[in-house]
Amino acid sequence: MKVLILGAGYGGLMTALQLQKELDYNEAEITIVNKHSYHYITTHLHAPAAGTLPTNRVKIELDDLIDREKINRIQQEVVEISLENKSVKLKDGQILVYDVLVIALGSDIETFGIKGLKEHAFVIRSVNSVRLIREHIEYMFAKYKAEPDHSEYLTFIVGGAGFTGIEFVGELADRVPELCKEFDVNPEVVRIINIEAAPTVLPGFEPNLVEHAMEVLKGKGVEIRTNTPIKEVTAEGVTLANGEQIKSGTVVWTGGVRGNKIIDNLGIETIRSRAKVDPYLRAPGYKDIFIIGDSSIVFDENVKPYPPTAQIAVQEGEYVAKQIVSLIRNGEMKLKPFKFQYRGTVASLGRREAIGTVGRWKIKGMTASLMKQLIDNRYLYSIGGLPLVFKKGKFLG
């Protein structure tokens, strides 16, 4: 049986590793296609973006994780999927066919139609995109030193105060003193402004934890502006919906994601490019096509969509792998519909500060920060064992 997995992020990689663990050699012909030769820890990307963690710490070569005797790996970009013909077209023209398909291509940026955003804003999406941000921040410090009348070079605007935006401003605020020292800049010139259209930051977190987050970030000098939609982004900064203009040399957009645009062309129902899957995570009407992670949308018992997270993508990957093993060995799926087990969420606020909910506990400060590291290290352990934890893990950083 030919099993084809598209994407080696949280969902796709977990599917592949679980199949690798459960299947014997030659029980199936498994192929994984991914744009890059590596898996990246998306949940850490805010740190290399701010420059507080080297980029190579968030990259893991896929060949260090997968057994090439069991899994064939293709480094290519998927350009088209035909569910009817059971085929996948790659950018180099190759056509791959499959018996079972797992689509785990992640997400694209949601711009909400904001003018100039695609052209002028940076995004925290991939290893390459965060490298650009890090380099650009340093360049802005150097540029300000050459043109000290332009204090706007050191105004950093972050659009969106959800998980990614908050984690990034926390980290950037930690990096600023180091940059000021390096470039001999008065820290008072530097501004970090976090702009959010909604009335509050960090949706989904308890109000008292949000309050703590706001206090911590304000203490680090971050300006937080809620109820403030951005209307346009230009090379000079942003224009807000109320007409106010803020000059800035750097705009980083973290305001939202939608599914991968490839999903829109599958011919099945989607919500913001995320496929509406059946209770077994299959494309409706297809018994051998699974769509997981940010590429699909799953609802809870109150018909509220689960937010797209690594946590759900990993659980979906494990579930789908088990169903595929059953399909291979028994000719049918054995598991009940997919059920998400929420294990909590912790958001970092920079060095040794975080907030979160784990089980019944609401945690903050150093405890939450340690918990975040534990969660991150546990993920590394699940994909690469202790050696990977020691190589890429975080310890009291």
Query: Would you tell me which residues interact with ligand FAD (CB under 6 A)?
Result: 7-12, 33-36, 42-43, 45-46, 77-78, 104-106, 124, 163-164, 167, 260, 262, 293-295, 308-311, 313
Q: What span, in angstroms and rounded, lies between the C-alpha atoms of 98 and 92?
A: 18
In the annotation, is 138 catalytic? no
Q: Which residue number, 89 or 247, has a Cβ lying nearer to ligand FAD?
A: 89
Least Å distance, CB 221 to ligand FAD, is 21
Contact 258, 272 (CB under 8 A): yes
Q: What span, in angstroms and rounded, lies between the C-alpha atoms of 164 and 45?
A: 9
Q: Which residue number, 3 or 104, has a Cβ lying nearer to ligand FAD?
A: 104
Closest CB to ligand FAD belongs to which residue? 9
Contact 166, 50 (CB under 8 A): no
Least Å distance, CB 167 to ligand FAD, is 6
Residue 158 corresponds to which tokens in the numbers above? 């972050």
Q: Which residue number, 88 or 246, has a Cβ lying nearer to ligand FAD?
A: 88
Q: Which residue number, 239 or 295, has a Cβ lying nearer to ligand FAD?
A: 295
293 SS3 class: helix
Q: Which residue number, 185 or 320, has a Cβ lying nearer to ligand FAD?
A: 320
Least Å distance, CB 75 to ligand FAD, is 9
Burial of 119 (0-12, 13-18, 19+ CB in 10 A): exposed
Q: Which residue number, 102 or 185, has a Cβ lying nearer to ligand FAD?
A: 102
Nearest in space to 185 (alpha carbons), one of 135, 246, 248, 143: 143
Least Å distance, CB 358 to ligand FAD, is 12
Q: Which residue number, 111 or 164, has a Cβ lying nearer to ligand FAD?
A: 164
**Cβ neighbours of residue 58 under 8 Å, at least 6 residues apart?**
40, 41, 44, 45, 47, 48, 127, 130, 392
State the catalytic residue, choosing from 119, 147, 152, 167.
167
Burial code of 262-297, b = ≥16 C-beta within 10 A, e = fewer?
Answer: bbbebebebeebbbbbeeebbbeebebbbbbbbbbb
Secondary structure, 3-state, 107-164: EEECCCCCECHHHHCEECCCHHHHHHHHHHHHHHHHHHHHCCCCHHHHEEEEECCCHH
Secondary structure, 3-state, 86-120: CEEEECCCCEEECCEEEECCCEEECCCCCECHHHH
Least Å distance, CB 269 to ligand FAD, is 18
Least Å distance, CB 223 to ligand FAD, is 21
Q: What span, in angstroms and rounded, lies between the C-alpha atoms of 115 and 120?
A: 9
Least Å distance, CB 331 to ligand FAD, is 28
Sign of torsion, CA 214 272 99 69?
negative
361 SS3 class: strand
Q: Active-site residue numbers?
A: 167
